[in-house]
Amino acid sequence: MSDRWIADRMHLIDASGIRKVFDLAANMKDPINLSIGQPHFDTPQPIKDALFAAVNAGKNAYSQTQGIAPLLAKLQSNVDAEFGHADRKVFVTSGTSGGLMLALLALVNPGDEVITFDPYFVMYKHLTSVAGGKVVPVSSYPDFRLDVNKVKAAITPRTKVILCNSPCNPTGYVASEQELKDLAELAAERDIAFISDEIYRSFCYDSPFISPAKFNPQTIVIDGFSKSHSMTGWRLGWMHGPESLMQQMTKLQQFSFVCAPHPVQWAGLSALDVDVTESIDDYRRKRDFMLSELGGLYEIAPAGGAFYLFVKAPWGTGTEFVTEAIKNDLLIIPGNVFSSQDTHFRISYANEDRTLQRGVEVLKRMAQR
């Protein structure tokens, strides 16, 4: 195969970050895996039962591109009750990642700029590049707060989107109501599209979740079942925002993903009635355990939500620290996968208690080097 076959956009995507960690760990016999960004509990049984029932009932063909009517109706009812916006419509996506791709492709022209906060979820940079745009990272170090003045300073005539993720992957930071209000109002004032990635909204441990859509009715919200209901492999998400924009994204989905998996949509309808409070409470307890064990030894970012700790390496770079951790059978992710800085590492505490205890023991030893 000739190199000239490969499109230029593919060279803008670096798939090596997390893969290097897994390559280093390939020969680990009993790894302490604190790297995986997904819930450790199984999908609740009523949701699995609903999937089996849908498959057995023959719900296996394409659905409408925008989603099955019962799921759309229930989601729309929930969104209307929360926001009360006349011009806010829902459609069902093939995962939240699919929704993010549709949003960026529908909004970003070649050369447009997308402002996001550093550290950021890895997909933001690469999907913006695929759309022909440029990510403009705004540093949130050292406390990971969302400073509206830094965003103002980063805005140029090419700024098309501000992308916000709270609770945040990788830091676990939950933005304050004032931070979100300031950002939402700035986007409205400057006529900039505002995307709120709310996939971790269920995982808020110290204060209620707040959506910036509360302050800016044009906010585009991305949500889904993957994290809250442990359905990462089921690829079911949804979006809501101004109807005309949702129509454009639905059109794009028709010629890409076609639709979210049809039987999974019926399972999603069931999932909306499943109480996940017990799982959220368990993760709060795990968060508290990790902070109590490591807080005196490490500098850890405020961790009010999601299921991550973003920890400053006590010596060396983040990559050097992670490399040494892997030699001790501990699998974690270097912060430079999510950031322009290489000072931190990410821990996922979505794990069994025994695994967390083993990880804590290694990290305690490594802190005393």
pTM here is 0.94
Intervals of CATH 3.90.1150.10 along the chain: 3-43+276-367
Residue 230's nearest CA partner among 351, 138, 54, 61 is 351
Q: Which two tokens stand for residue 330?
A: 């501990």
What pLDDT is recorded for position 258?
A: 95
Instruction: State the amino acid at position 102 in one-letter form.
Output: L
Q: Which two tokens stand for residue 236?
A: 């079911």
| Residue 279 C-alpha from the chain's centroid | 18
What pLDDT is recorded for position 30?
A: 83
Taking the C-alpha atoms of residue 345 and residue 170, their distance in angstroms, rounded to an integer, is 9
What pLDDT is recorded for position 306?
A: 97
| Tens of pLDDT, residues 2-37 | 778 888 888 888 765 666 666 666 667 788 999 988
What pLDDT is recorded for position 1?
A: 77
Taking the C-alpha atoms of residue 224 and residue 232, their distance in angstroms, rounded to an integer, is 9
Q: Which CATH superfamily is domain 3-43+276-367 in?
A: Aspartate Aminotransferase, domain 1 (3.90.1150.10)
Positions of the chain with pLDDT lower than 50, given as ranges: none
What pLDDT is recorded for position 25?
A: 63
What pLDDT is recorded for position 21?
A: 65
What pLDDT is recorded for position 18?
A: 62
Intervals of CATH 3.40.640.10 along the chain: 46-271
Any idea which fold 46-271 has? Aspartate Aminotransferase; domain 2 (3.40.640)
The CA-based diameter of the chain, rounded to the nearest angstrom, is 60
